[in-house]
Amino acid sequence: MREAGSARCEPANVLVTGGAGFIGVNFIRYLLGRNDFDGRVINYDALTYAGNPASLADIEREWGGTRYFFVRGDVADREAVDRVLGEHAIDTIVHFAAESHVDRSIVGPEAFVRTNVTGTFTLLEAARAAWQAGGGFREGVRFHHISTDEVYGSLGETGYFTEETPYDPRSPYSASKAASDHLVMAYWHTYGLPVTLSNCSNNYGPYHFPEKLIPLMILNMLEGLELPVYGDGRNVRDWLYVEDHAAAVWDIVRGGWPGQKYNVGGGNEWENLRLVERLAEIVAERTGMSAEAIRAKITFVRDRPGHDRRYAIDCSKIGRELGWRPSVTFEEGLARTVDWYLGNGDWVREVRSGEYRRWIERNYGTREQ
């Protein structure tokens, strides 16, 4: 029987790996915007193609050097990880850093194994060494690992993924995440390292790199380009607004039971084709364009290998144990997302043109880690 309150953790110095990526950026913004958190956030990111510290430029101006610190580093570099854990007295690791695009994993799987598997192993070993106290680990430390629902494989027309669903990854990406999940849980069972793990559904929202479905479609619609949809467009995904995901992660970090995993979903199952059609309607409403003309640009392209048919998340456990529920409806979230891309043309232009890479080179050098 679990003792009430024994899961509580109050982080002071939080290392966010991959904090310059889409979900990491939104998590850092969420955390530093909370009135009940007065700690420090250390953003540790290698600044690969999808990492953009300019997405946190306002955070840097307000909190840089006091409550927010950026450290460029590779999660697979043990010396660098040891250094950041020690110099910043890290008590909590929130591990977002990952190669995450399925299509890229099919073309070049090696980077996914290095970052997602070796990188996670390196972080676990560094945390194990840094947090040891006596025969165990000191109080108040936590390692939270963010994973994906893709590790579970593909669902039929009915049913949901639960925390007990067997793993059945179908792509190099999901296989690398499954391997990292198993490592994290092994460190709990073998060493007692206080870990938690979450498997989330597809995220969407501001600052999303435009290779992913929703931002790609929005931007192509605005530019009158083709809207490529895999296969017959009937693949189903569950969509989670990124700020709701940030809230769920923070709830798990502070109140999740060590050694437990939690599914996090939005409860929004949509076929890809229906989603693109709805985005066309929202973009048309916002811009005065013709929804019919936008939809006419939908083009069905050859399906990708191993394309899972349906994902759907049962997230009743996190609701039951931690009281978390998604707060943003899909309609509201899609509208917010379209509005954000319409209102942040400079960010979009810099990302799509590569200008943000030149900004990184000017400020951080050309080193790729």
Which two tokens mark 56? 């946190």
**What strand order describes the sheet that includes 195-200?**
68-72, 40-45, 13-17, 92-95, 142-148, 195-200, 260-264
Q: How many CB atoms lie within 10 A of CB 304?
A: 13
Burial classification of residue 61, based on how many CB atoms lie within 10 Å of its CB (0-12 exposed, 13-18 middle, 19 or more buried): exposed
Walk along the chain (369 residues) and give the pLDDT tens digit of each residue: 344 335 788 999 999 999 999 999 999 999 999 999 999 999 999 998 788 888 999 999 999 999 999 999 999 999 999 999 999 999 999 999 998 878 889 889 999 999 999 999 999 999 999 999 888 899 999 999 999 999 999 888 888 999 999 999 999 999 999 999 999 999 999 999 999 999 999 999 999 988 789 999 999 999 999 999 988 998 898 999 999 999 999 999 999 999 999 999 998 899 999 999 999 999 999 999 999 999 999 999 887 777 778 888 999 999 999 999 999 999 999 999 999 999 999 998 888 777 666 666 767 665 543
Distance (Å, rounded) from C-alpha 41 to C-alpha 15? 6
Is residue 328 a contact partner of residue 245, using CB atoms and an 8 Å limit?
no
Interacting residues of 186 by C-beta distance below 8 A, sequence separation 6+: none
Is residue 42 a contact partner of residue 13, using CB atoms and an 8 Å limit?
yes
Task: Specify if 104 maps to a domain.
Answer: yes
Task: Specify if 167 maps to a domain.
Answer: yes
Closest CA to 321 of 267, 266, 258, 268: 258
Residue 151 belongs to domain with CATH number: 3.40.50.720
Task: Specify if 219 maps to a domain.
Answer: yes
Task: Specify if 276 maps to a domain.
Answer: yes
Task: Specify if 285 maps to a domain.
Answer: yes
Residue with tokens 């290698």, as numbered in its chain: 46
DSSP conformation letters of 11-36: -SEEEEETTTSHHHHHHHHHHHT-TT
Task: Specify if 191 maps to a domain.
Answer: yes
The secondary structure of the chain in percent helix, strand, coil, rounded to multiples of 5, reads 45, 20, 35
Is residue 51 a contact partner of residue 45, using CB atoms and an 8 Å limit?
yes
What is the domain count for the chain? 1
Is residue 308 a contact partner of residue 246, using CB atoms and an 8 Å limit?
no
Q: Point out which residues pair with 136 in neighbouring strands.
A: 133
Residues forming the active site: 149-150, 173
Task: Specify if 1 maps to a domain.
Answer: no
Domain enclosing residue 87, as ranges: 13-364
DSSP conformation letters of 251-309: HHHHHPPTTEEEEE--S-EEEHHHHHHHHHHHHHHHH---HHHHHTTEEEEPPPTT--S
Is residue 200 a contact partner of residue 148, using CB atoms and an 8 Å limit?
yes
Q: Point out which residues pair with 203 in neighbouring strands.
A: 240
The pLDDT assigned to 356 comes to 62
The pLDDT assigned to 158 comes to 84
Distance (Å, rounded) from C-alpha 311 to C-alpha 155? 6
